[in-house]
Chains A and B, each alone.
Chain A
Amino acid sequence: MKKTFATVLTLAALTGTTALAHYGMIIPSDSMISQEDGRSVGLTLSFSHPFEGNGMVLDAPVSFSVTHEGETTDLMGDLADTEVMGQPAFMLDYPLERPGTYVFAMEPQPYWEPVEDSFIIHYTKTYVSAFGDDEGWDAELGLRTEIVPLSKPFGLWEGNVFQGVVMLDGAAVPRAEVEVEYYNEDMSATAPSDLMITQTIKADANGVFTYAAPSDGWWGFAALNTAPETMDYEGKDKAVELGAVIWVNFEEWTGE
């Protein structure tokens, strides 16, 4: 019994970070671009444990696109290599030609996670408003799984709630589990318990979840579901975790 317990502890120590939440990430230079900010937005695409600052390799995505005024444009050819948290990632500077909301979305390659004995596919997106126009802020892209915003996914004060509905294969997911994690970019946030690195909430019967962010900055919401199909890994069928990830920025409250 002692040996088994020791083995478990050793395994946990070795794999502790990988057992925590993975997040596909799309972080823009700003979620609200004004005309004084210029005519483009910078974006970085990465894969990480964002609270702990542990980066992972992001292989070339299956797709990366922007949707504006109902039109989706492939941006795969515009990605350039970079590093985020010391790991390979991608970046681009995207020109904003007109006002409105631009939705950037990435489908990564399936990531094999040995600790969970499954593949992970996190469909990741973020919303950027250009030139004071928020039209399109609630756009549903029709991704296999996604969080459709019920709160405007930009222009939120710290302490505001963010609400979204979890969609999978075109239908809302009752009681969907949603993991929430802060992008601890400057590593200034500390967690008194591992339970507070990734917070977990559940959607209601209509697939709607609500979360109030305690501070400004970027917060990632990942709704996780298991796909009905499996994928092959070394001749064996393995489960596939489908993640609907959205990154939302909360602004610092400026009042007293």
Chain B
Amino acid sequence: MRTLIIALAVIGWATASVAHQLIVFAFVEDGAVIVETKFSTGKIPISGEVRIFDAENTLLLTLPLEKDGTVRFPLDPDASTQGLSIEVETSEGHDNYWVLTPDDIERGTEN
């Protein structure tokens, strides 16, 4: 968990300074992780890359962003016990991230 926090702090510092216009949010529902993105203008990015890291900052998955600005993937309970970090980079070069904490995952799993 400590590694995740340190990694996120580095990511947060890097992204906050260069790309603040993309909003990334993720939640767990029905055994899947749903990632939503939009620009601060309200517009939806139509393409991009989504990278999912575990708490040790190991890249688990790389997925293309769907045309509606979302992506969905199955939650791997074993790989996500300490949380997940989800980075999104649009084809225009905007990027940002969302951290699914263990509490987020637990809440999503309970519902």
- Chain A interface (Cβ < 8 Å from any Cβ of B): 35-36, 39, 97-99, 131-135
Contact = CB atoms under 8 A, between A and B. Distances in A.
B98 interface: yes
Given A134-B40, A135-B42, A39 B25 contact: no
Contact of A99 (B12, B25, B99, B103): B25
B103 A131 contact: no
B99 A35 contact: yes
Given A134-B40, A135-B42, A36 B12 contact: yes
A88 to B, nearest CB: 33
A86 B66 CA distance: 54
Contacts of B20: 132
Contact of B23 (A36, A97, A99): A99
Interface string B35-50: 0001010100000000
Contacts of A132: 20, 23, 40, 96
Interface of B: 12, 20, 23, 25, 27, 38, 40, 42, 96, 98-99, 103-104
A30 B12 CA distance: 20
Contacts of A35: 98-99
A134 B20 CA distance: 12
Given A35-B99, A36-B12, A39-B103, A98 B42 contact: no
Nearest to A97: B27
A39 B40 contact: no
